[in-house]
Structure 1
Amino acid sequence: MIRNYFKIAWRSLQKNKLQTFINLLGLTVGTVCCLSILIYVMAQFGYEKQFKNSNSIYRITTTVTSDGIGTQVSAGSSPPIAFALKEDYPEVKEVCRVVYFGEGNNGLLRATGSDKAYYEPRGYIADSTFFKLFNYPFLEGKPEGALNAPNAVVLSKSLAMKIFGNEKALGKTLVLGSGEGQQTLTIKGVFKDDFGKSHLNPNYILTMNSNGVGSFVRSVQNFATQNFALTYVKLITGANVGGLQKKLPVFLQRHGAADLAAVGFEKSLSLQKVSDIHLYSKGIRSQIDKISDINYLYLLLILALFIQLVACINFINLSTARANKRAKEIGVRKAIGADKGDLIRQFLGESVLLSLFASVLSLPLTALALPFVNELTQGAIGYSNIFSWPILVTLLGLGILTGLIAGLYPALILSSIKPVKVLKSSVNLNIGNGYLRKGLVVFQFVVSIGLISSVIIISQQVRHSQKMDMGFNKDNLIAIRLGTETDLRNFNSLATQFSSIKGVAEVSGSNNYPSELILGDLGMHLPGKNPTHLTLVHYTGVSPNYFNTVGTKLLVGRDLRSNDSIQVVVNKATLDAFNIPLDKAIGSILVQANEGSSTNHELVGVAEDYHFASLKEEIAPMLIFNETSPGWIILKANTNNYKNLLNDLERSWKNINANTPFVFNFVDKEVEKLYAEEKRLGKISVVFTSLAILISCLGLFGLVSFVAEQKKKEIGIRKVLGASVQNMVRLLTKDFVRLVGIAFIIAAPLAYVVMQKWLQDFPYRITIEWWVFLIAGGAALLITLLTVSFQAIKAAIANPVKSLRTE
């Protein structure tokens, strides 16, 4: 019986080729969009699941509230917290600290005896317990004790292959850094770095039992400040997580009451399940790797649902539009014994068959579109993600569900036709004026107007971010990395040589290039004020001529000089935080609290505010001191031939630093990363909005075909009585204009509320203007009229004799 249903369904689809093609096109486009979104969203789940007992591993997050910065949540915590937790609470089975200073602080690595060096990102410094929490498979060596010995290091397989090729890396030595500060590291293992999805993606891991940063971390005993260590705890089986969370305030007071009182912060600790880090870390600073946002994924899923619903509505519209052509078939089948259930199953079979066919077509089309999808979402989706069992099962379910949803209404309508009326040629389905049908069309218009409005607003915000005054001139700025102690010592020589190169206008130095995130902060207060009530002020060092080089204006005072020691420049936000008037700023003193001691800083200049973090964060107080050994050379170029300029710069670099790579960044490209997420969302919105409108146009085409079919004889009579083509077109389009108006009234406030909420994440945001929605409604109306007019004009100019000859 089922086979017979599908056989009849296949014949019917072949018979109505145009309708089948339009339906298939709409369902296929909708399914490709839906499938692409589903694959991306599903790829964001399943993080950390590869680690044994991952549900028992938690990260300690820190919330700090202070004057000047308000409340901030950080992924890091103070270094001594980890082992104090293990000592105090038996439910804490194991702990580990990881220190990571970001992509910009790449370590210079080379094999001992080799002149070939590499700046390698994702270098971690971790306690020897790291592999007790995170069981990375080892390809060389063993994880047990791999990080116990001083200066031990383990490498990822990728890095080991890069440095040693196919040779065994175990037991060999590496040199980290150069000059007096270089360290010789012994390789104790090579781990598999494609182990699974994780927020931890180490390229190499250096033991905490090492000099430099490791020594510093081990020496820190303050429980209030230095919240830079990522602290992980592994709990015993069956531990009461909620109970441990309630103990943390008491723990912090027991160990850090004096430290907290000294700095005047309000601080709290929280447990975050490691498997939640990737999706539930919105607003948490100092992340070790790129994260996603569960709300963003929900938004994408809603978008996918809307697009699929629009495709289903098209199917309904087109199926009912051709109902009259199947009326006699239905009448005959009912007359020879077919009941309503048989007909419903047949029509559902047709829709499910077509939907499944669209699902099958969507697989290779999605695979072909995969590079574009990855570029659009900045994802790393592979073909294995598309042809995985979860996706295939989901796609099968989606195909069946879409077919049932799309085919149910037409099946109920068509199966309700009375055979007597059909066989007498007096059938009138009268479904064109139904509220459900109009409601479906209004829904399409609401989606279209809402998406168009959203695209306009997102585009406006992105343009606003791009054109916003960053507080410095990003154009023609080049930042050159000084990654070793040798490079730092050679700063003055390099700056002098670079200044003489044609095409270089200005040269200076900085510990952070413009727009780079600055994490370091100091607790400060005004002289004579309570030293326990501090304001957090970020800090960085620059060399003379920095502000002139980057184009940051000094509002009052002077630039830093090479002999400055306690003299500093602050930004305008610092004055606001301490309520210092601009005209009284020069000569003012800020006191830095140093755990019982203090350091005075004299203000000699005030710079305009400039961005050094995400554009979703307000500009924080900043203190800039004189730095004799900056981490970056910042130069202003004045040339159109960057190829020659970079060649000349590298040649000068090699003359002085022969054994270190020449690494540079174009600052304008780095600035773009500050609003990359918004640009990506804008592109996604434009693409899927265009596809949703395309699918809606197919539905409108089907709907106007139905209306023209229903009013064929009315049009013929009106033409015989003298009506013009314009009158006929107006007759067929006026209902759609009314539906667009209703949709506009619904969509505009909905889009306003949603986009207003989205804009709340931006401290520097646009104001939503009324004309945005007017443009969106006008665009929807224009698209509708263009779609409808083709079929309306075709019906209006048809020969009335053909439509009236049977009367």
Structure 2
Amino acid sequence: MIRNYIKTAYRSLKKSKGFTAINVLGLSVGLATCLLIVLYVADELSYDKYNKNAANIYRITENAKLNGNEASYAGSEKPILNAIKDYPEIEKTTRIIPKSNLFKTSQKFNIKKGNTNIQEKNVAFAESSLFDVFTLPMIDGSPATALSAPHSAVITESMAKKYFNNVKAVGKTLTINDTSYYKVTGVIKDIPSQSHFNYDFILSYNSIPEYQAGGWGYSGIHNYVVLKPGADIHKLEANMRSIAVKNYPPSMVQGGNYLNYELTPLLDIHLHSHSQDELSDSGNIRYVYIFSLIAVFILLIACVNFMNLSTARSSGRAKEVGVRKVLGSARKYLIAQFLTESMLLTLIAFVIAIVLAFMAIPLFNEVAAKHLSLGFNTFAWLLPALVIALLIGLLAGFYPAFFLSSFKPIEVLKGKLVAGFKGGYLRSFLVVFQFSISIFLIIGTIVIYNQLNYIHNKSLGFDRSQVMVIKNVNVLGNQAATFKQEIKQMPGVVDATMSSYLPTGEERNITGMFPQLPLDIKQDVLSEFWPVDEDYLNTMGIKLIAGRNFSRAMATDSSGLIVNEAFVKRFGFKDPLNKPIYRNSIGLQTFHIIGVMKDFNFSSLRDEIKPVALIYNESRGAVSARVKVADIGSFIATMKDKWKGFSPNQEFAYSFMDQDFDATYRSEERIGELFIAFSTLAIFIACLGLFGLAAYAAEQRNKEIGIRKVLGASISGIVALLSTEFIKLVFIAILIASPLAWYAMNKWLQDFAYRINIQWWVIALAGVVAVLIAFVTISFQSVKAALANPVDSLKSGE
């Protein structure tokens, strides 16, 4: 019986080649797209799950509010972990301190390989208990003692091969910054990319001088705890808050100010936590939801196509059903036959979808910045995917099977069955549903594109074009200033500055500043505090709106500050020049404001511009040069030669500021590109269905078209006749989708402090695009029908 079903289904699909091609193409593209989205979503949801105790691991996150400044920090203080580690709820604890939290300014991490120093960024200090908390398999060495001794290091397999050409590297020595020596005591497997931290070098925590590890008020340590099953998390959080209250001045935890601790589940860090000082770039659960919905929408559109086309061609199969019923075929067998056709078609589409996904995944990985794979060693997904595909076939074929098998044989054979597109209310609803989704995605695509375009073209308060940033200048030591001066004299260099702190850089330094004495915590304002030289403003293209720039000739400028407009506004100064500013850092420091600069964006446009204070002091992290040359390649080569003259054993590392800026928003760009790609595919699949429906509508009105042509109807009139019904449905879809899309995209834009407003023309443009897409799709078949010889249609059978 099943064999006959399959054979009959194959013959039916082969007979209707157009129907089969449209459905197979739509389903295969839809399934391939969904497979890629599912891989993306699964990857995002898999972060940190490689840890055996993942469900019980928590990070201590610090939430603070001080004088209206609210912030959440991924790090917390050293004493808080000491205070709670013996609580009965806690099983294990460990600490990680990223290298960047210890060496805030010019100190870099350079490892000697032969005669060359190579800068490494993925470096952290950790306690020996790290391997008790996180699952980091060790290839060489003992995890119990690997980080026990000072100046010991655990490195990854890749780094062992890079520096020692062998994973058996225990006992080898790492030379760091030409002054420190660390003994390799362990080699671990490369940390999975689905981890909220990914370090290549893990150094012993007790190698850090005690004062650098911090006390109350220093939140640069990432503290982790493993809780016992059934532990009362809320009770533990309350205890931690009470500890903070006891150890901080009352003014910091009263009067609207607070310092709260919370336990962030390890599995929530990547997608749900957006605290400052995260150990890696976080994802966003909102995008996981969005792409999951798009995957569902694409599958629904593909299923809707199948249902629409199957019911639309009902007239072509009505006599088949009638004859089968007259010959004694039961309805259940007809249903089984039509479902078999649906499943066979879906199976064919599934095979093609796998091939399409294999072909598309390299490009998808490039756009999404992922390392997803459909390799044969990961075919665990194949069976579930096949089951889902067959369920889709069952779902898509369910209504057509019951619809077609319900025809009454007498009415069919007498020709009383109403054929054609008319009366297809469900079909009309499904077309509206398809295009509502498509219009929603079109509006979303336009808004995302406009926001990204706004980001790239917004005046940021500084000029990022043609600024070359030479990194690792700290290795030059006392020659750094000479190097900068020689760069300034190079042909094509407009100006140059030396500072670690750049608008597009990674280095940041937040400090508390006060307007008067005695220091009152209620007047504390958190501000960026950047050491720069006298060439900084000119090189960065930052404008002064009051006062003056730093000057070598002014000895008092060592205590001078140039502040931004946000700083002035935060302190409430009407006339900020010469106002005293105080800072309590290793003793009381007194400054005075000598200039006010225009606000500039130095972080994501999601954030409001924060107060910034520039201090006239040396910072050797990087030299930035504003250049104006015709041949940038030749200039880079000259700059490299200049660098080698100063530091022949140090690699030449550079970037351009506009590229660094783009990298800040690369995540949004990737999301935008994926959204546009998926939206395009969804619209393409919807158009395939509309194309098929238009073809059947034209076929079913074949005689009507012939008669109208004989009676003098024009081609344009016939095209309008055949298109009007579909275009009406698209207009209904516009009315449904527009308010929903406007609301959803406004919610998305709320993430940005600086954003576009959704203009009326966006909705209008999306509607026009949808109508044009529908009209072009329909017109192909309509024009074909209108141009056909009416004699042929009138001479045909019924």
**Under TM normalisation by the shorter chain, which class is it?**
over 0.9
Match of 2:360 in 1: 369
Q: Identify the match of residue 313 of structure 1 among 304, 308, 313.
A: 304
Match of 1:84 in 2: 83
Q: Does 1:668 align with 2:661?
A: no
String of CA shifts for 1:639-679, please: whole Å, max 9, x gaps: 12222222222222222223322211211100002222222
Paired residue type of 2:202 = I
String of CA shifts for 1:103-151, please: whole Å, max 9, x gaps: 998510125xx32221112100112322221231111111112111111
Match of 1:293 in 2: 284
Q: Identify the match of residue 200 of structure 1 among 183, 197, 201.
A: 197
Paired residue type of 2:515 = L
- Following the alignment from structure 2 to structure 1, what is the Cα–Cα distance between the partners of residues 628 and 733? 54
Deviation at 1:528, TM superposition (A): 4.5
Paired residue type of 2:709 = K
Q: Does 1:520 align with 2:520?
A: no
Q: Does 1:487 align with 2:441?
A: no
Match of 1:347 in 2: 338
- Following the alignment from structure 2 to structure 1, what is the Cα–Cα distance between the partners of residues 664 and 732? 39
Cα gap change, 1:285/1:106 in structure 2, threshold over 3 Å: closer, same or farther? Answer: same
Report the 3-state secondary structure (helix = DSSP H, G, I; strand = E; otherwise coil) of the residue aligned with 1:369.
Answer: helix
Match of 1:97 in 2: 95
Deviation at 1:258, TM superposition (A): 6.0
- Following the alignment from structure 1 to structure 2, what is the Cα–Cα distance between the partners of residues 635 and 594? 32
Match of 1:498 in 2: 487
Match of 1:475 in 2: 465
Q: What are structure 1's unaligned runs of at least 5 residues?
A: none
Summarize the alignment of residues 377-388 of structure 1 with structure 2, pairs less than 5 Å apart: 377-384=368-375, 388=378
String of CA shifts for 1:247-298, please: whole Å, max 9, x gaps: 22112113334694699952111101112212221x3221111221222111
Deviation at 1:725, TM superposition (A): 2.1
Q: Please, what TM-score do these two structures have when normalized by structure 2?
A: 0.95
Q: Does 1:750 align with 2:740?
A: yes
Summarize the alignment of residues 256-267 of structure 1 with structure 2, pairs less than 5 Å apart: 256-257=248-249, 260=252, 265-267=257-259
Indicate if the aligned counterparts of 2:420 and 2:697 stay in contact, CA closer than 8 A: no
Indicate if the aligned counterparts of 1:611 and 1:619 stay in contact, CA closer than 8 A: yes
May I ask how many residue pairs the two structures share in their alignment?
A: 789
Match of 2:110 in 1: 108
Q: Does 1:276 align with 2:268?
A: yes
Deviation at 1:529, TM superposition (A): 7.2
Indicate if the aligned counterparts of 1:50 and 1:196 stay in contact, CA closer than 8 A: no
Indicate if the aligned counterparts of 2:531 and 2:617 stay in contact, CA closer than 8 A: yes
Cα gap change, 1:256/1:780 in structure 2, threshold over 3 Å: closer, same or farther? Answer: same
Paired residue type of 1:306 = F
Q: Does 1:720 align with 2:710?
A: yes
Indicate if the aligned counterparts of 2:315 and 2:420 stay in contact, CA closer than 8 A: no
Summarize the alignment of residues 336-735 of structure 1 with structure 2, pairs less than 5 Å apart: 336-384=327-375, 388-429=378-419, 432-482=422-472, 484=474, 486-528=475-517, 531-533=520-522, 534-562=524-552, 563=555, 564-581=557-574, 584-594=575-585, 597-735=587-725
Deviation at 1:241, TM superposition (A): 2.1
Report the 3-state secondary structure (helix = DSSP H, G, I; strand = E; otherwise coil) of the residue aligned with 2:520.
Answer: coil
- Following the alignment from structure 1 to structure 2, what is the Cα–Cα distance between the partners of residues 521 and 350? 66
Paired residue type of 1:502 = P
- Following the alignment from structure 2 to structure 1, what is the Cα–Cα distance between the partners of residues 187 and 308? 61
String of CA shifts for 1:280-325, please: whole Å, max 9, x gaps: 21x3221111221222111001011111111111112222232222
Paired residue type of 2:335 = I
Indicate if the aligned counterparts of 1:61 and 1:73 stay in contact, CA closer than 8 A: yes
Indicate if the aligned counterparts of 1:501 and 1:648 stay in contact, CA closer than 8 A: no
Indicate if the aligned counterparts of 2:428 and 2:729 stay in contact, CA closer than 8 A: yes
- Following the alignment from structure 1 to structure 2, what is the Cα–Cα distance between the partners of residues 551 and 149? 49
Match of 1:335 in 2: 326
Indicate if the aligned counterparts of 1:527 and 1:589 stay in contact, CA closer than 8 A: yes
Q: Does 1:741 align with 2:747?
A: no
Paired residue type of 2:558 = S
Q: Identify the match of residue 235 of structure 2 among 227, 231, 243.
A: 243
Q: Please, what TM-score do these two structures have when normalized by structure 1?
A: 0.94
Cα gap change, 1:264/1:410 in structure 2, threshold over 3 Å: closer, same or farther? Answer: closer
Paired residue type of 2:512 = G
Indicate if the aligned counterparts of 1:32 and 1:362 stay in contact, CA closer than 8 A: yes
Cα gap change, 1:430/1:501 in structure 2, threshold over 3 Å: closer, same or farther? Answer: closer
Deviation at 1:456, TM superposition (A): 1.0
Deviation at 1:372, TM superposition (A): 0.9
- Following the alignment from structure 2 to structure 1, what is the Cα–Cα distance between the partners of residues 716 and 53? 72
Report the 3-state secondary structure (helix = DSSP H, G, I; strand = E; otherwise coil) of the residue aligned with 1:475.
Answer: coil
- Following the alignment from structure 2 to structure 1, what is the Cα–Cα distance between the partners of residues 50 and 671? 30
Cα gap change, 1:629/1:674 in structure 2, threshold over 3 Å: closer, same or farther? Answer: closer
Match of 2:153 in 1: 153
- What's the % identity of the aligned pairs? 37
Indicate if the aligned counterparts of 2:513 and 2:582 stay in contact, CA closer than 8 A: yes
Q: Does 1:217 align with 2:206?
A: no
Deviation at 1:102, TM superposition (A): 5.2
Indicate if the aligned counterparts of 1:482 and 1:488 stay in contact, CA closer than 8 A: no
Report the 3-state secondary structure (helix = DSSP H, G, I; strand = E; otherwise coil) of the residue aligned with 2:737.
Answer: helix
Deviation at 1:798, TM superposition (A): 2.6
- Following the alignment from structure 1 to structure 2, what is the Cα–Cα distance between the partners of residues 256 and 397? 58
Deviation at 1:226, TM superposition (A): 2.3
Indicate if the aligned counterparts of 2:168 and 2:187 stay in contact, CA closer than 8 A: no
- Following the alignment from structure 1 to structure 2, what is the Cα–Cα distance between the partners of residues 196 and 525? 43
- Following the alignment from structure 1 to structure 2, what is the Cα–Cα distance between the partners of residues 258 and 129? 34
Q: What are structure 2's unaligned runs of at least 5 residues?
A: none
Match of 1:304 in 2: 295
Deviation at 1:161, TM superposition (A): 0.7
String of CA shifts for 1:50-96, please: whole Å, max 9, x gaps: 2232222110111111236x321121112322222214x23223322
Indicate if the aligned counterparts of 1:58 and 1:273 stay in contact, CA closer than 8 A: yes
Cα gap change, 1:662/1:552 in structure 2, threshold over 3 Å: closer, same or farther? Answer: same
Indicate if the aligned counterparts of 1:417 and 1:429 stay in contact, CA closer than 8 A: no
Match of 2:771 in 1: 781
Deviation at 1:167, TM superposition (A): 7.0
Indicate if the aligned counterparts of 2:253 and 2:259 stay in contact, CA closer than 8 A: no
- Following the alignment from structure 2 to structure 1, what is the Cα–Cα distance between the partners of residues 191 and 261? 32
- Following the alignment from structure 2 to structure 1, what is the Cα–Cα distance between the partners of residues 236 and 191? 33
Paired residue type of 1:565 = S
- Following the alignment from structure 1 to structure 2, what is the Cα–Cα distance between the partners of residues 263 and 141? 53
Indicate if the aligned counterparts of 1:75 and 1:230 stay in contact, CA closer than 8 A: yes
Indicate if the aligned counterparts of 1:146 and 1:189 stay in contact, CA closer than 8 A: yes
- Following the alignment from structure 2 to structure 1, what is the Cα–Cα distance between the partners of residues 637 and 580? 45
Indicate if the aligned counterparts of 2:312 and 2:696 stay in contact, CA closer than 8 A: yes
- Following the alignment from structure 1 to structure 2, what is the Cα–Cα distance between the partners of residues 664 and 594? 33
- Following the alignment from structure 2 to structure 1, what is the Cα–Cα distance between the partners of residues 609 and 616? 21
Indicate if the aligned counterparts of 1:479 and 1:513 stay in contact, CA closer than 8 A: no
Indicate if the aligned counterparts of 1:701 and 1:788 stay in contact, CA closer than 8 A: yes
Indicate if the aligned counterparts of 1:615 and 1:675 stay in contact, CA closer than 8 A: no
Between 286-295 and 763-772, the greater mean CA deviation after superposition: 286-295
- Following the alignment from structure 1 to structure 2, what is the Cα–Cα distance between the partners of residues 91 and 323? 67
